Chains A and B, each alone.
Chain A
C-alpha cells in the first residue's frame, strides 16, 4: 500500500452548514438524544448525529470524551438511559449486540480482544456469518458444513494475506504482538462482510511500519463500499484519511465537518488540542513517515 497518492476524499456529505448535528445527504446512522450516565457522570449526551454512508468518519476527542461509550451504545454492548438510533432506517434501540453485528454493523474494541488460545486462522473463521456447522445439530454431521468451512478458510487466508498475518495462521493468537492483534481483530471483523465498520483506536499500539498498511486497509474498506467510523487520536492520520470528522468533548458533539476546516474551529482547539496545540501529535506518537509524505504533497 502506497501513500504517495493522496486518498480520494468524499465530498458533499452534508446538507447546509457543517455544524454539530447537521444533516447528511445519505446517512447510515442517525442518532437522536442518546444519553448515558455512570452515577453522576454524563458520559454521552448526543442531541443529534448522522454518520454519512460510504465515507470514512473520524470520531475524535480527548480521553474520557465518551467515544468508546458511544460505540458501546450504538452496538448494543451497553444500553442508554434515553434516546434512539437508526441503522439504515432500522431502529436499533434494545437490539442485542449480536443481532446488531448480524445486521452488518461490526465493531472492534479499544482493548484488543484477540481470542488468545485459538489459532489465528480459527479467530478469522469465527468471523464468518451464517455458518451451518455452528448449529449444534448440524455440527454433528461434517457433511453438512465441511464445504462451507473450506470456503470460509479460503476467504480467511485471503484476508490474512492482505493483513500480512498469513505466516501466523497456525499460531495461537496469544503469540501475536499488540499491533498484530489489532490487525487480526480488524481482519476478523471483515470476515463478517460488514456494511459499517466501527474501529475503536485501530492504530493505538501499532508500530509505525504497520500504521501505513493499516491506513491503507481503512481506505480500502471505503473503496469496497463499506462505511467506516473510527476513533483516533493522531490528527495527521485523521486529516489524511477521514472524509468527515466528529469531535466529542464531555459526552457532547462539539463540532463536525471536513477535516481541513474542523481542526481550525475554536471549539475543537479548546476541547481537544488544549495545551497541546503547539505540539505535533504525529511526532509525539512517532508516526513521522506519514507526516513527511503529507508535507511533500
Chain B
C-alpha cells in the first residue's frame, strides 16, 4: 500500500474549496437547526440556487462575477422566503418535509431539458468563472504556492483565499448575531415558541429571518463550490444534504465553530476513506472490488451518523446540556 499518497491526499483534504463550501453550508444549518430549531433538510437546494444564480446570471445575462454572486445570494433569500412563508406557521416537522421536497424540485428544474439553453440540463454550466471575470480577478501571479500536501496553483489559491474570506465573514456574522438579544430570542424559539410569543415577540418574523440568514450561508457555500468546480445538477442531491447534516452534528449543532470543524473533519475523513478503501481492496484485505470499496465509505458515513446521534448528539464541541435530540 502506498501510505505516502494516502496520507498526502488525506491531509490535502483539510483545506480545499470543497471543504470551505461545505463548512459554509453547515454554518447555515447551524443557524437553522442548532440555534433556531428549524428542521431544514433542503440545504442542497440553497446551495444549488446560489451556484446556478451565479453561473446563469454571468452566462445568460452577462453579469460580472460579483454581480452574479449577489444574484445567487438574492436567489437564496427568495428561496428562504418562498419556503418559510407557507410553512413557518405550521409545526416544525412540516418544514422538514417541505424543504426536502423543495430542494428536489429545484434540482429537477435545473436538470430538466426544458431549460437547457439556460441551465445546461444534465451537462450543467461551465466557463462562467472566466467570462464573468472571477479568474482574472485573481491577485496571485501564476506559480506554485504552499508546501507538501498543501501545494496549490494560483487559481486554487485564489478560490481558497476568497472562500476563507467569505467563511470568516459568515462566522463573524453568526457569532455577532447569536451573542445579541436577537440570538437570545432565536434560542428561545428553539426551546418553546409559544412561550416567546406570550412574551410579545413576533415569532414568525424571527423564524423567517433565521431561515434567510442560514439560507444565505448555504447559497454562499454553493457559490464557493461553483467558483472552483463546474455547476452540475448531480452535485445538489439529497445525499449532499445529509453529508452537511453529518458535518454539523459532528462538530456540534448549537455552536459557531462546530459546523466549520465538523466539515473539515468530515471531508478529511472522506478523503482518507476514498484513498484507503480501494487500496485495501486491491491488497486483498477487503473482499470487494475497487469501485465497491469507494462506495463503502458512504455506508460508513451512514453508520457514523447513527452512532453520533445516539452517543454524542451534542457533537464534539457542543455542551451536552445545550443540544440533545431527546428532550
B201 with A174: CB separation less than 8 A = no
Answer yes or no: B188 CB below 8 A from chain A CBs.
yes
**B188 in complex: contacting residue of A118, A133, A192, CB < 8 Å:** A118
A97 touches B191 (CB 8 A): no
Q: Given A101-B200, A126-B185, A133-B180, verify A174-B321 contact (CB < 8 Å).
A: yes
- Which of A134-142, A203-211, A234-242 lines the interface with chain B? A134-142
List CB contacts (< 8 Å) of B175-225 with chain A. Answer: 176-177, 180-185, 187-188, 190-192, 194-203, 209, 213
A233 within 8 A of B: no
A98 and B202 contact, CB distance less than 8 A: yes
A98 and B195 in contact, given A133-B181, A139-B176 (Cβ under 8 angstroms): no
Chain A proximity of B51: nearest CB distance (Å) = 26
Chain A positions within 8 Å of B201 at CB level: 98, 126, 134
Q: Closest CB of chain B to A152's CB: distance in Å?
A: 8
Q: Is B323 an interface residue (CB 8 A)?
A: yes
B91 within 8 A of A: no
CB contact under 8 A between A77 and B194, given known A117-B321, A118-B187, A126-B188 = yes
* Of the residues B180, B188, B196, contact of A142 by C-beta under 8 Å: B180
What is the bound-complex CA distance between A191 and B195, given in angstroms? 13
Q: Is B322 an interface residue (CB 8 A)?
A: yes
Give the residue among B197, B200, B201 with the most A Cβ atoms within 10 A. Answer: B200
Residue in B closest to A125 when the chains form the complex, CB atoms: B184
Q: Is the CB of B182 within 8 A of A134?
A: yes
Closest to B193 in A: A113
A127 interface hit (Cβ, 8 Å): yes
CB contact under 8 A between A126 and B322, given known A77-B194, A140-B180, A142-B180: no
The distance in angstroms between the C-alpha atoms of A100 and B309, with both chains bound, is 40
Task: Out of B180, B190, B198, B203, name the residue touching A145 (CB < 8 Å).
Answer: B180
A113 touches B181 (CB 8 A): no
Most buried by A among B176, B201, B209, B213: B201
> A140 near B177 (CB under 8 angstroms)?
yes
CA distance A108 to B194 in the complex (A): 10
Least CB distance from A113 to B in Å reads 4
Partner of A126, one of B173, B177, B184, B321: B184
Chain B residues near A102 (CB-CB < 8 A): 200
Verify if A24 is at the interface (C-beta below 8 Å from B): no
**Shortest Cβ distance from residue B200 to the other chain A in the assembled complex, whole angstroms:** 4
From the candidates B182, B191, B194, B199, name the one contacting A192 in the complex (CB within 8 A).
B199
Contact string against B for A residues 72-103, beta-carbon threshold 8 Å, 1 for contact and 0 otherwise: 00010100000000000000000011110110
CA distance A155 to B327 in the complex (A): 30
- The residues of B that contact A149 with a CB separation of less than 8 Å are 181
In the complex, the answer to whether A117 meets B200 with C-beta atoms within 8 Å is: no
Interface residue? A285 (CB, 8 A):
no
Given contacts A129-B200, A134-B185, A136-B182, contact A116 B327 (CB under 8 A): yes
Q: How far is the CA of A291 from the CA of B117 in the complex (A)?
A: 83
A253 in the interface, Cβ–Cβ < 8 Å?
Answer: no
Across the interface, which residues of A come within 8 angstroms of B190, CB to CB? 117
Distance of A140 Cα from B178 Cα, bound (Å): 9
Known: A113-B192, A174-B321. A98 touches B197 (CB 8 A): yes
| Beta-carbon contact of B187 and A106 below 8 Å | no
Bound CA span A148–B142, Å: 53
A195 to chain B, nearest CB (A): 12
CB neighbours (8 Å) of B185 from chain A are: 126, 134
Report the bound CA distance from A132 to B185 in whole Å: 12
Does the CB pair B191–A117 fall under 8 Å?
Answer: yes
Q: Specify which of A114, A129, A136 is in contact with B177 (CB 8 Å cutoff).
A: A136
A122 at interface by CB-CB < 8 Å: yes
Tell whether A35 is near chain B: CB-to-CB under 8 Å. no
Contact for A122 among B184, B192, B213, CB less than 8 A: B184
A192 to B197 CA separation, bound complex (whole angstroms): 12
Contact A118 B198 (CB under 8 A): no
By the criterion CB–CB under 8 Å, are B191 and A109 in contact? no
| Interface flag for A287 (CB, 8 Å) | no
Contact, CB under 8 Å: A101 / B188: no
Instruction: Please indicate the chain A residues that have their CB under 8 angstroms from the CB of B197 in the complex.
Output: 77, 97-98, 101
- Given A113-B192, A115-B192, A117-B187, check contact A139 B181 (CB 8 Å): yes
User: Which chain B positions have C-beta within 8 A of A132?
Assistant: 181
Q: Is the CB of B191 within 8 A of A116?
A: yes
CA–CA, A114 to B180, complex, Å? 20
With both chains docked as a complex, state the minimum distance between the C-beta of A230 and any C-beta of chain B, in angstroms: 15
Whether B196 and A126, one on each chain, are in contact in the complex, defined by CB atoms closer than 8 angstroms, is: yes
The answer to the question of A37 belonging to the interface, with a C-beta cut-off of 8 Å to chain B, is no
Chain A neighbourhood of B327, CB < 8 A = 116
Q: Which interface residue of A116, A139, A142 has the most chain B CB atoms within 10 A? A: A139
Contacts A118-B184, A134-B201 aside, 7 further interface pairs with beta carbons under 8 A come to A96-B202, A117-B322, A118-B188, A122-B187, A126-B185, A136-B177, A174-B321
6 A-B residue pairings within 8 Å (CB atoms): A109-B195, A123-B188, A126-B196, A139-B180, A140-B180, A191-B199
Query: Nearest 4 A-B pairs (CB), nearest first?
Result: A133-B181, A101-B200, A139-B182, A139-B180
